[in-house]
Each structure stands twice: as C-alpha cells, then as structure tokens.
Structure 1
C-alpha cells in the first residue's frame, strides 16, 4: 500500500480563498450581462440598491449562495472565480424579492432556489458542452418558473406572492411619446434585472461601459430594436416604455454582437436579427404563460441565442468569437 499524503500536499487548493470568493460573488452580479469585471458587478449592485434595498440584498445573497454552493461541491475553479456560477443566483434572488416580497419564506426560497440552480447549472454545462453552448440564464428560468408554478400549492408562499403585473393585452395607446422612447430604452436595459426605473437602467448602462463599450452600445441599440419592432407591430405603449419588450433583445443583442459571435458586418446583422427574434418570442411566450400566471423571464433570450449559436457553423460569413 502506498501513501497518498505526499501527492495530496502538492495538489493545488481545491477551493477558492475567501478574498477570491468575495470577488467571484461580485463578478456573479456582473455576469448577468456577460461582464466579468468586478467593477461592473459593483456598479450593478449599486443600481439594484437604488432600485430598492431588497433587490440589492437578495441579489447579493443569491450570487453568494450559488457561488459558495458551486465552490463547496468542487465546480471548476475558473468558472467560480469568473462569476459564472453566481449570475443565475443573482437573478433568482432579485426575482424572488420581486415576486414574494421580503420575508423569512422568501429568504429560504432564495437559498434553496440558488442551491438547486447551482446543480442545474452544472448539469446544463455538462449537457451543452458537446454543442459548445453556454447555459446562459436557463438555470434561473427553470428554478423561477417552477417556483411560480408551485407557489399556489403552498399557503405560505401563496400568501406572500405579489409579483409584477403581466404585460397588458394589445389594447390601449400605441403611439409613443418622446418620454416613452428614451425612458423605455433605459428600462429595456434595467428590466434584465427586473428594474423599471429609467435612472436605474442608466446606472446599469454605466456599468456596461466600464465592462465593455461594445457591449454597452449593443445594449442600447438592441433595446431600441426591441422597442421599435414592438411599436411597429402595435404593442401597448405602456409596455414598451416599461422595457418589457426590450430586455430579452438587449441580452440577445449583446450575446451575438461580439461576446459569442465575432463582430463583423454580417455578425452585426446576425445580432440584429437575433434581437428581433427575441422580441417576437417575448410576445409569444407572454401569451403562453399568461393563463398560468407565469412570467416570460429571460426564456426568449435563452432559446433564441441557443438557436442562433447552434446555427453559426452553417453560415460561411458568421463565426464564433474568440
């Protein structure tokens, strides 16, 4: 029998050190918008706290729980360090604060949801690896959709369920005012984090500029694309101004404009088409989920971007970034 002690002593540390974990938690907030910069993560946290202390607190809690869970279970250190294990937890925390308010029940749901989201993230990383596709926010969508659907079966959850209003039916004013346009553009960026105050969206945009100017430009243009196609097709002005038709376009546009697809003239057109598709799917999934009391979340972004990335090898003029 040979001892394994010498080999164990020479192995690198399996878990991140506390300072690195703290940075990873902050990066997890920034990675919601694909930004690995801790400064972007800090600015995003400021934006969440400006939107409401509960969003900042639960968003930070979500990133921390998801990151710590992944690190404790031995997830790849580079993924943990870059915040890739924390961003779905951030969104779970913010979403639950919005849908269920502040209570011990919500705190428990965030913790359990982020632990489950961490496991789902690792499962999707494994399943999608052969196709070279990221998980995106699919773990957040799965956990949050399941929780919203399950809420009516549990009295303590049902009592606390407040949730935001669903997008209205295609009735009412459709003409856009100038205020609708400029506020809606910022709201489209903020609604990625469920924030509908234009100045909160502006802070998020500042964070994007710090992380990547290209991503910031893509976010602005994609938000306008989402608003534009929604207006052309006759969506209610109130929903457009609230950013409800912009945020999935924002995420899709950023993903396809330089982050996962090379930013060339054909690549820019590809990102534009992706933003259009995400806006259309937003309307379709909103209609689908409405009878169940569910919400669209970022499903349109996930499904459209998966499809567009999977199609890249078939196009000679489109290539993956990196």
Structure 2
C-alpha cells in the first residue's frame, strides 16, 4: 500500500505528486483483479492486456482510471483507493464491454466509461451490505454490471452490433475429451488469462509472472488452481477445446488464490481447502454457463464468487481454518 501524500507539503509539491500517486493506484487496481495490491504486478497486467489487443488494453486502463477517480470524487476511504480496491471492478467492466460488444464502436466506449463509474457505486453498496458478515465484495460489481448489460444489449440497436459476442446455447458435451500436451500447456496459461477474458497463452503467462513478482505463494496457488481446473474438467469428460481455451479453469485459479493465499491464514489446511474449492468451482462453471446461455449472458466470475462465498461462510465451523 502506498504512503499517503502529506497535506502539510507546499501546494505545488502536493500537486506534483498527485498524478504519480494516481498512476500507482491505477496499477494496483489492475493487480487487484488477482488480489495483488502491487504496482509492479499491475505493470505486468497492463502489458498482458495490451499484448492481447491495444483497444482491450485501453479499455481496461479507462475502466480502472474512471473507477478510481469516481471513488475520489465520492470521498471513499483513501486507504481503499491506495490499495487499488476501487479500480479493479471498473477495469473488468470496461474490458468485458469491449470484448462482448466489440471494441470498434463509440457506443461501446461510452458504455465502458459509464459502467466503470456505476461499478464504483455498486462497490460501495455491496461493501456496506456485506460488512456485517465480514465478506469482501469480490467481483460482484463487475458480474452484476456485465450480466445486466450483456443480457439487455440485444434490445438496443445502438449498443448491439455485428461485432458483438454471442454466447453459445446450452449443449451436451461433445468433441474429443483427450488432452494433448500442447493443449494442457495452453490451458495452464489460458486459465490465468481468461480471468481478464483473454484466452491467449502468452497473455496468461504475463499475468502469472506478475503474480509471482507480487507474491510467490499466491503465484503457486494460481498454478495449482489451474492444474486442478484442468484435471477436474478432463476427469469429467469436458471437451478438450473448451479446456484448452481456459473456459473451465479460470474460476478455479481465482478460488485457489482467494482461499489458499488471500482470505484465509496460509497453511496446509487452507491450501487443501482451496484446492477442493477450485474443483467445485470448475463444476459450477459449467452449471452457470448453462444457466445464463439462454438469456445471452456469460459465465464471467460468478462461479468464483459463489464458491468462495460459501467456502468462507463455512470457515467458522472448521477449527483448522482461520480468516486472515
């Protein structure tokens, strides 16, 4: 967490430091998508999204900056802003709109900007609602915004375009479930990249490097989560193409990190608990996909939210586990 600027400094000195501090907060907002309040990690994440496409990178930067700026305007606690907690949902909202609505339209950019601002309001609302249970907001603001917009978008001619991404209708599993070595490697990194809706293996690699730069143990849990997601999906006979694209394992990565390295005290028991949660989220991913598909919705990180919420709620019943 960055050190606050002293307001006792001369006004020109304060003004000079403000853009630098805001830049660090935006980078931490990027990194907080994977729980890391670390600007160096955020630099890797920015590079990863731009590697997937410059318009995606620009959308993610816009969303993070607007979410952070909105929090400033609304007077949100400065420590939350400094840690990047007010920017990561805006990042995901803007990026999701670019991916699902097509990045080449003015309407998409207007929706992305407006969505990032609204996500900041939703973050505050959910933080207040969840505070009595000591639960974080997770990526709930992002999921709520993205779900509403993707379901509603086809009803608005100026929002829905030929470049918009349609979700597939529910179908029985089909295709070869055998995974080749190349598909396993691609899936391992794509599981990390799909957290940002990016399936490219090299994008996932950059994200993973950023996590290791911030926290080696969190990087380890991300790797284990990806492995569990792959093994679970393969063991249940999921199509190899879906596994290789990271569509079934990215929630497992988030759950493994959340339970194994972030919200619980670290240890063997917490790590094993996290891996069970990762496997459960892989199954839930398919269920959520089938639930949303008829409405034109997307899976997003709903499986991660639901799994982590229930697994954290169960912790007081397990003496070997403690909230961090």
Is the contact between residue 29 and residue 87 of structure 1 (CA under 8 Å) also seen in structure 2?
A: yes
Aligned partners of 1:21, 1:289: CA distance in 2, in Å?
Answer: 37
Give aligned pairs, total: 310
Deviations 1:50-103 (A, max 9, x none): 011111100000000111001110011100111100001111111111111222
After TM superposition, the score normalised by the length of structure 1 is: 0.93
Deviation at 1:111, TM superposition (A): 1.1
Aligned partners of 2:243, 2:45: CA distance in 1, in Å?
Answer: 23
Is the contact between residue 168 and residue 236 of structure 1 (CA under 8 Å) also seen in structure 2?
A: no
Deviation at 1:18, TM superposition (A): 2.9
- Corresponding residue number in structure 1 for 2:3: none
Aligned partners of 1:283, 1:320: CA distance in 2, in Å?
Answer: 29
Equivalent runs, 1:1-322 vs 2, <5 Å: 17-102=18-103, 103-159=105-161, 162-163=164-165, 166=168, 169-321=172-324
Aligned partners of 2:213, 2:202: CA distance in 1, in Å?
Answer: 17
Aligned partners of 2:227, 2:257: CA distance in 1, in Å?
Answer: 13
- Corresponding residue number in structure 2 for 1:5: none
Deviation at 1:168, TM superposition (A): 6.5
Aligned partners of 1:145, 1:318: CA distance in 2, in Å?
Answer: 33
Aligned partners of 1:193, 1:169: CA distance in 2, in Å?
Answer: 26
- Aligned-pair Cα RMSD in Å: 1.8
Aligned partners of 2:272, 2:159: CA distance in 1, in Å?
Answer: 44
Is the contact between residue 176 and residue 237 of structure 1 (CA under 8 Å) also seen in structure 2?
A: yes
The worse-fitting range, judged by mean Cα deviation, of 93-102 and 39-48 is 93-102
Deviation at 1:306, TM superposition (A): 1.0
Aligned partners of 1:164, 1:39: CA distance in 2, in Å?
Answer: 35
Deviation at 1:276, TM superposition (A): 1.0
SS in 2 for 1:181: helix
For structure 1, the 5+ residue unaligned runs are 1-8
